[in-house]
A and B are shown apart, each in its own frame.
Chain A
């Protein structure tokens, strides 16, 4: 049982990582980005191409991919989301759904249905592990992913709390009209927030490629897990996203230990139970984030 808990927490780190951008974009721009998973897969393909075909070292692939995806985020916000947001709340959701279709089919056109992986680029890291007392084995890659998730979420939180652009992002999220009255260009701030989101998506996409295989249509399950982690943790809360990811990861690993089909069923079941509980008891919405903040303060 201890092993399931440890593996579940580490898996939760990956879910928090993939959900981080979705939660950030929702909290800042109130947009549910249905292209989130497809963008993560596109980032994985970009790193794959740079690594396998351009033969660049992985760190260089990552830096190039981050830059390219940040620019893509800026353009997506200015050309698609900013315009569609003027048409009401539904239009950006439909726009991102359309964007995911375009990305998936473009990737299929370019790369075909073959599965790919970045495992060859990281060598032993993809399978190596540490042995802990009590016969526990923890993979080095899952630990790296978990640590990255915590660092990324903490970094985003610090950025939002203590930097000039962070304050502008929070002000724009709270009241874009009043933000304009204090000199904030809400369009520019949202474009910066979209670029930051795509940086987190790139990191998630890279780890997706390292820990598993991917193909052009892998975005949908990534979006589903990200969505579940975000909602469990309290949509829009960064620390809640980490809690949501861990809860989802624990549910899946514990479910898998009970039944071969339990992995997905347990995850979806916990998601639905928490979603229902949230609707019935609205105060639950901020509980995971509160618990994590209290734990961090202790």
Chain B
């Protein structure tokens, strides 16, 4: 077992953004979180990464409870987040951003050369400031920066947001090898077809709860769409009690 989340509750002030969520993610699995805006997907990812505090429940990784650990210590334990909006260090170059990804000091196979192998467009941009890059190049840098920490669990928050379909295709094509390499991936994606196409398992969230959970191959687009809008709960997926 790579990650076990038990009765996780996360708040934004008085609002409960994640409500008693329980789920587990196996090593090497790609899990897609889908749901409407405000469903709690991004909050969940940020909480898993340590960027937002949990109000209740627990997050256990490889048997270690990391619920109260700050973000930088979770990176050292193998969690890396590609945040929504990319969050580049705009005044720094691509190479510097990638080197920052290795600050956690985890040993592994990722290097700048390997990152530019999967994102070839970055090779000629290594000395450019990330603030001057296109959205796709920034996204590639953000993913590369996360990979440089040699993560066991990669959290991808809306990597297609604000990018043209062509660029999104390229980004996902680059991630394909990663998904097959044994890295555990939890991704938040608004594009249902794409999420169901790349993930092993899909969880649909609504108002902070998982309302539909199932293997991507067992779910239909209509079932997920209905759960997405809270129309009704299907029998194909397992609905948590």
A residues sitting closer than 8 Å to B (CB atoms) are: 164, 167-168, 170-171, 174-175, 177-186
Contacts and interface: CB of A to CB of B under 8 A. Distances in A.
Interface residues of B, number: 26
Nearest to B98: A182
B132 to A, nearest CB: 15
Contacts of B182: none
B87 interface: yes
B4 to A, nearest CB: 22
A175 B87 contact: yes
Nearest to B99: A167
Given A167-B96, A170-B92, A171-B92, A181 B103 contact: no
A183 B105 contact: yes
B133 to A, nearest CB: 16
A182 B145 contact: yes
A178 B145 CA distance: 11
29 contacts: A164-B99, A167-B100, A170-B89, A170-B91, A171-B100, A174-B89, A174-B92, A175-B87, A175-B89, A177-B51, A177-B71, A178-B87, A178-B89, A179-B72, A179-B100, A180-B51, A181-B49, A181-B71, A181-B80, A181-B87, A182-B103, A182-B104, A182-B145, A182-B149, A183-B101, A183-B104, A183-B105, A184-B72, A184-B103
A185 B91 CA distance: 20
A184 B70 CA distance: 10
B101 A182 contact: yes
Interface of B: 49-51, 70-72, 75-76, 80-81, 83, 87, 89-92, 96, 99-101, 103-105, 145-146, 149
Contacts of A179: 72, 100
Given A178-B89, A180-B72, A185-B72, 9 more contacts: A174-B92, A177-B71, A181-B51, A182-B75, A183-B75, A183-B76, A183-B104, A183-B149, A184-B72
A171 B100 CA distance: 8
Contacts of A177: 51, 71
Nearest to A174: B89
B89 A171 contact: yes
A177 B49 CA distance: 11
A183 B51 CA distance: 11
Contacts of B72: 179-181, 183-186
A130 B71 CA distance: 57
Contacts of A178: 83, 87, 89
B50 A180 contact: yes
Contacts of B71: 177, 180-181
A168 B49 contact: no
